[in-house]
Amino acid sequence: MIKNSGIRHLALRVSDVERAVEFYSRVFGMKLVWQPDPDNAYMSSGSDNLALHRGSHGHADAQSLDHFGFIVPTVEDVDAAYVWARGAGLDIVHPLKHHRDGSVSFYIRDPDGNVIQALYEPTISNFSS
């Protein structure tokens, strides 16, 4: 077993690095930390980091990804985020749902087609690392 504190790093291939930086800044409040060149950017939320690398879909070494998620602190925050996402014209993949286990989520798509879940999960959303 590898000791860990959860998923803290994700790297995505994107077709337009500038557009992806703008999206993740505007939608999730991530900050650009370092951009060594036009083909790569590194962003942080303060607890997680996201690497964006220019690449094309269908590339021989591209991986398949169903979705990834951002943990949201409260149910009310997810509800408010859903209203904001709809008002911002984001591509809603799955609408807001309150699940019977107490979790609440919805899914959006980024400009490159990656599916992102906004999730309140009772066992980890209130965890401070």
Domain residue spans of the chain: 1-55, 67-129
Residue 82: which H helix or E strand, with range?
Answer: helix 75-87
Q: What's the whole-model pTM score?
A: 0.79
Q: How confident is the model at residue 24 (pLDDT cuts 50, 70, 90)?
A: very high
14: region left, alpha or beta (phi > 0 left; psi from -120 to 50 alpha): beta
List the single range of 3-12, 14-23, 94-103 with lowest mean pLDDT: 3-12
Which class is 1-55 in CATH?
Answer: alpha beta
48 contacts: CB under 8 Å, gap ≥ 6: 7, 8, 9, 10
Which class is 67-129 in CATH?
Answer: alpha beta
Asked whether the beta carbons of 102 and 20 are under 8 A apart, the reply is no
Asked whether the beta carbons of 103 and 117 are under 8 A apart, the reply is no
65 contacts: CB under 8 Å, gap ≥ 6: 12, 114, 115
What percentage of the chain reaches a pLDDT higher than 70? 87
* Mean pLDDT in residue range 16-20: 95
Q: How confident is the model at residue 78 (pLDDT cuts 50, 70, 90)?
A: very high
Higher pLDDT, 57 or 114: 114
Q: What is the pLDDT of residue 60?
A: 54
1-55 against 67-129: fold identical: yes
List the single range of 1-5, 16-20, 21-25 with lowest mean pLDDT: 1-5
Amino acid symbol at 32: L
Q: How confident is the model at residue 55 (pLDDT cuts 50, 70, 90)?
A: confident
* pLDDT over 60 at 128, yes or no: no
Asked whether the beta carbons of 88 and 116 are under 8 A apart, the reply is no
State the Cα–Cα distance between residues 49 and 75, nearest whole angstrom.
24
Residue 92: which H helix or E strand, with range?
Answer: strand 91-98
